[in-house]
Structure 1
């Protein structure tokens, strides 16, 4: 190019904003007379430009871990993992320097020759080439740190003014950072295509290796991508990628990084891709609903940032290591249990959801439901709603909890000093009058029934009333304690409404049937209340996150359990004693796990929803089964789930076995512990004589007809027993699990419900065969005196005695 042509080009540069052209002239041609004077003036202005460039770590993946360090999910806006330069393959460093900036270790941030050439190209609308690695790093930093669309566009604009800014920042950056620091920053921030940012993520994505393990052909392939990541994408355009790789290898020979022989050998190697991409978000996670709950905890947690938008960005860009409370083995057991009993894509669209907490810490060990995670609610088996939790954490507005709330009434009664012997005559149908709301207003009279007549009036105390889940007993106990006191106890124990509304509202204050669980809550809240009983009165906020390591700001946030005493130890021990009785011939018979357990079944009016809440001293769980479309409109009646037909589902029919199976898969992870004995202050633990057990509880349940009693078939052969029971009008389920008994091996050891129980025609009677080992009680009443261990068998307990 002649001098006139060169001056013409320089003249064009003089007309560009921010006098960028004169800067290039100043750098390249300082001796051109008057032009040199102008250049010096512009250069002085250039040096006075702002030069301080913040270089925060670029966005990187955040990872959610379970309690054992397993990955639950990765969350990110950009697939990037930062690594130190010393942890990158030296050949990768040589490859990127050779192809992008061979004089990187020689210049002071600006490659004069390359920059001048780039400036000339920019005049014609092209910004290809010419930039040093330092300048490229500056450009990427400006793009990644942009907090607005306008700032991003400014960082990407094809103008010389942008080039001038990059030049000024590059010169200043070289004065405060070492070359290795700049190279490390560049290799971590550069985009390598196919969604991979940084050399480490690119190595993992294209070759499934760490950047420290890259071979020469692999490193050359990656180095060739940064100029045109899409054009040279080896997954989409393998031929172009291989040609570009070979160009890089030749350039590495030119720079002396490798020999001709090494390049020639590398060129014979196929690309040999092994493409993997880390999952992003909760959808691909094996624990998607817990994952979503963790995201909600961070995005809604004011302690993590000033706004939800700010917190969401922090979550997706800061490279957080989020350590949680989820136990992978317990979670697996829970997911298998809900999927077994209520398969995800069942035609009736029912769902099972459960949560298990650690008493004394509130740590969430299990959060599972029988649904695939996804946004299309119209698809069978898919939802993005977490039915285990509350509305403010991605859950629903809740479901009526049924008789699981009777435990709250017991806590209120014992807290006020009422003894176990507190008795009422509890007929099949009663009318309760004289209750008052929390505002002191008198309530209308309330007529309620147990779910079936059982021979007229009976006297029940707390023990027999709890054991049989007697609606009419608890209605009178609630009146004795005071409706408002029971409501306050529910709030005290964390058993609040799932929609966040207070129980202290006109509708609830007039809710006579509060003790029967007519309020909508969540498994999370029910489990929290029962965990309070298990921990002998210490309530802990449910906790999903224990620690967050922020790699971007190099800080660690420790999250301690939030616990406080909500019940006296004696009151909690009293509730624990009463709730243990349900497993001993009561509504939870057959749901034992071979360890001390306590719990309560729950069924709402017309089997709209069914629940089970139970616990050991060190693990508490609540299970809900129902229909998200509306339990009252789509009740648990005449449904087939998991290949089993149910005329009606109750608390012990499905929720109980789900709880049992989850517990059985979890108890190896927890110590075997016993409950404290019943406090003496509550007096005798005897039941009234004779005890009268009621049928399954329901909110305002209606009486049902009965057809006769179960024949006594204990000691008979299986075939004879089945024939006798079928002749009596019942369906028969023979359990695969044999129990210890004095009866001969293979003969009937026990039936559930027990002999003499009056059931509707077509009801299921469960038959348990003897293993001939002795040790049986000889009692053929429901449960036969046995606390049958859960083995995942297909037993479908008849609900009339289960809830």
Structure 2
């Protein structure tokens, strides 16, 4: 009944308000005169959208613990039942004592407010419903102009609020309006809504507020800065006492209760929720989550809209982060590469669960902050790609050899695939993915790695023999190795392709001369651990939008990348590095597979490895430019290093991280070495084996595939070989009458004067694989062809 009365009086009130403005030719910005006021008022828009006000979002780890809070306004919405009744009484007493009696408009107050507005003031007079309307208009404004319109000091704004208020009271109950008001009101000092205000000023929930606390908060609403409880305690106390007196006047408190409350001082327990990633204990993972939301068009039309959604929708973002694994990784990188080390080196590590792609940890030995000039501080996430807040990447060294192994096994080559692996060689015959020939590649082994005699996949992997992998890449084909790495999710951190205009294909791909992120390498190794199932790296599992009430489930995105036996084969080979190989002494007390990586001149160092249920990759280097600031003659923390390799610092970081990280996981075994790849034995060593190798033609048979007959013959003869051109054309994708194949293969080392058989193409183009007749005139040296590959001159890789 009271609401209906208030609604019937609405037009009369507005008429009265406007009568006070008869001296003006027009009322505010509406341009309605006193003669058509009623008509103009009724024709105004009356429906007001009342969406939930902005509130803070939370990022949670996989156990539901808060990692970070992100917001434009510190607000947490609560129900009216979760607000202290005395708080409700206090706000009604001081702001709108007749709230439960009128229909949205306080007649006398509105008339008084109109007169004051005409004199340039907007003090007083608004009902709680009108104040709620104003706050809704302000909070829902998406442009500066809309915000200014909602705050303008004009009669037109008052009239607009009156019209909305009348209609709002028809649609919402009094309790709903009161709840909305107490959740949207600003209480000063960055606290929006009564729940956040109670926690900010007193360290308690809104349901725990007592009389004096409620009165103090209610008093702050009128002028949040003047009556700021923290900044202006004297003014706030005086205002609190006025509220207490008013509560006595309206019967909301007894005189005795009010006097007792006045006798207490403001006892504040001020605290603020952390805002953003900087205060978080997991800042770089937090930043990655923020980037994942802001860069994903699933969450909004553009980045601005997505950022606003993140900071205003009260999201609960459930992530994949494991707090214990994260802590173990952070402790390890901080121990071996302290955050403020004078050498300015950095360590970064990512842990990923095989079979899901879920990121269990993401750390680096840096403090999170915007001042790059400050020692130990950065906002760049070196663990991930450039488009997710990371760097343009770092060369990953011999961790890439695993991709060559996968490509070789995928083609059906066995563990016994052998090459005579000298300590240095020059490799010819490689082509990029466009088929263009690449320059000769001088490649040598690193450190004390020796390639004496023959190596197969087992010994070559165990010793990380560069010349062996150069030859294996040559056998498999550079483009096939690149394609395999891409199947495993490997890509350059700067977003460009491996076979781009700058590189036109990279001879030294197998030795990790491409710049990638630890995230990419860790996830590729997780694919081996999962039996060949590739999963996109995943940081978010679910987003609950408390503003709209919807829940967004983020499922793992997985597909088979390689055959299960190929993955098992790679895992078998990478386990050998712990058995007298490059990771010897870095075991973690359970089955594991791993590969070290050290780039040319120890510019950067890596170790990537995995168990069947957890993979991780560690990078150590200098973000100023590893080639200019290498890991040589360097002091990191209290340790001096003449030269850092993958097993020197990344190795212990990986070992200490994984030992702790897998302690709560079931111990699992890898599959047995697939029988289809043959014997797992290493080749026998013969000290005199090198004597059987030819002294000349170290580059081997030139690659003349695709050349004309005359050009091919000329090149082969210049290399010191005799040439026999077969009269039989072979099926090939090469152009007709050009060279389709040679026997022995390009790169094979032969004695000077040996015969090379040349086969021309029939131009059919029907088969990618060329079938070469067995001439019966060639026998490989040492029982196997000594094939080669390519690399940047002078590069040495572990």
State yes or no: 1:186 paired with 2:186: no
> Do the aligned residues in 1 keep the contact of 2:18 with 2:27 (CA within 8 Å)?
no
Q: Which stretch has the larger CA shift, 541-550 or 7-16?
A: 7-16
> Do the aligned residues in 2 keep the contact of 1:290 with 1:368 (CA within 8 Å)?
yes
Corresponding position of 2:305: 310
Corresponding position of 2:192: 197
Q: 1:267 to 1:463 in 2, by over 3 A?
A: same
d(CA) in 2 for partners of 1:7, 1:583: 88
Tell me how far 1:664 sits from its aligned partner: 1.5
SS of residue in 2 equivalent to 1:17: coil
1:389 paired residue among 384, 387, 397: 384
Tell me how far 1:456 sits from its aligned partner: 7.0
Corresponding position of 2:78: 83
Corresponding position of 1:321: 316
Corresponding position of 1:50: 45
2:641 paired residue among 643, 646, 650: 646
Q: How does 1:410-429 map to 2 (within 5 A)?
A: 410-429=405-424
d(CA) in 1 for partners of 2:530, 2:21: 81
d(CA) in 1 for partners of 2:31, 2:660: 70
d(CA) in 2 for partners of 1:131, 1:656: 69
1:339 paired residue among 311, 334, 343: 334
State yes or no: 1:206 paired with 2:217: no
Corresponding position of 2:65: 70
Q: How does 1:228-267 map to 2 (within 5 A)?
A: 228-267=223-262
SS of residue in 2 equivalent to 1:512: coil
> Do the aligned residues in 1 keep the contact of 2:415 with 2:458 (CA within 8 Å)?
yes
Flag structure 2 segments of 5+ consecutive residues without an equivalent.
1-15, 688-795
Name the TM-score, length of structure 1 as normaliser: 0.82
d(CA) in 1 for partners of 2:253, 2:224: 24
d(CA) in 2 for partners of 1:375, 1:528: 28
State yes or no: 1:297 paired with 2:297: no
Corresponding position of 2:437: 442
Q: 1:80 to 1:383 in 2, by over 3 A?
A: same
Q: Deviations over 1:527-566 (max 9, x none)?
A: 1110000000000000000000001110000000000000
Q: 1:637 to 1:45 in 2, by over 3 A?
A: same
d(CA) in 1 for partners of 2:275, 2:486: 38
SS of residue in 2 equivalent to 1:291: helix
Q: 1:686 to 1:268 in 2, by over 3 A?
A: same
1:16 paired residue among 5, 16, 27: 27
Q: Deviations over 1:133-158 (max 9, x none)?
A: 00000000000011110010000000
Q: 1:802 to 1:70 in 2, by over 3 A?
A: farther
Tell me how far 1:297 sits from its aligned partner: 0.4
Q: Deviations over 1:49-82 (max 9, x none)?
A: 1100000001000000000111111010000000
State yes or no: 1:480 paired with 2:482: no
Q: Deviations over 1:717-765 (max 9, x none)?
A: xxxxxxxxxxxxxxxxxxxxxxxxxxxxxxxxxxxxxxxxxxxxxxxxx
> Do the aligned residues in 2 keep the contact of 1:138 with 1:169 (CA within 8 Å)?
yes
State yes or no: 1:101 paired with 2:112: no
SS of residue in 2 equivalent to 1:601: strand
d(CA) in 1 for partners of 2:522, 2:18: 81
> Do the aligned residues in 2 keep the contact of 1:638 with 1:645 (CA within 8 Å)?
yes
Q: 1:555 to 1:462 in 2, by over 3 A?
A: same
Q: Which stretch has the larger CA shift, 350-359 or 449-458?
A: 449-458
Flag structure 1 segments of 5+ consecutive residues without an equivalent.
24-37, 693-800
d(CA) in 2 for partners of 1:691, 1:226: 89
> Do the aligned residues in 1 keep the contact of 2:32 with 2:40 (CA within 8 Å)?
no
Q: Which stretch has the larger CA shift, 623-632 or 371-380?
A: 371-380
State yes or no: 1:607 paired with 2:613: no
Tell me how far 1:268 sits from its aligned partner: 1.6
d(CA) in 1 for partners of 2:168, 2:437: 77
Question: How many residues end up aligned between the 2 structures?
Answer: 675
Tell me how far 1:48 sits from its aligned partner: 2.2
Tell me how far 1:454 sits from its aligned partner: 6.3
> Do the aligned residues in 1 keep the contact of 2:17 with 2:114 (CA within 8 Å)?
no
SS of residue in 2 equivalent to 1:564: strand
> Do the aligned residues in 1 keep the contact of 2:84 with 2:208 (CA within 8 Å)?
yes
> Do the aligned residues in 2 keep the contact of 1:460 with 1:691 (CA within 8 Å)?
no
State yes or no: 1:353 paired with 2:348: yes
RMSD value, Cα: 1.8
d(CA) in 2 for partners of 1:279, 1:145: 24
Corresponding position of 1:150: 145
SS of residue in 1 equivalent to 2:460: helix
d(CA) in 2 for partners of 1:452, 1:652: 12
> Do the aligned residues in 2 keep the contact of 1:58 with 1:141 (CA within 8 Å)?
yes
Q: 1:19 to 1:325 in 2, by over 3 A?
A: closer
Corresponding position of 1:729: none
Q: How does 1:597-676 map to 2 (within 5 A)?
A: 597-676=592-671
Tell me how far 1:655 sits from its aligned partner: 0.5
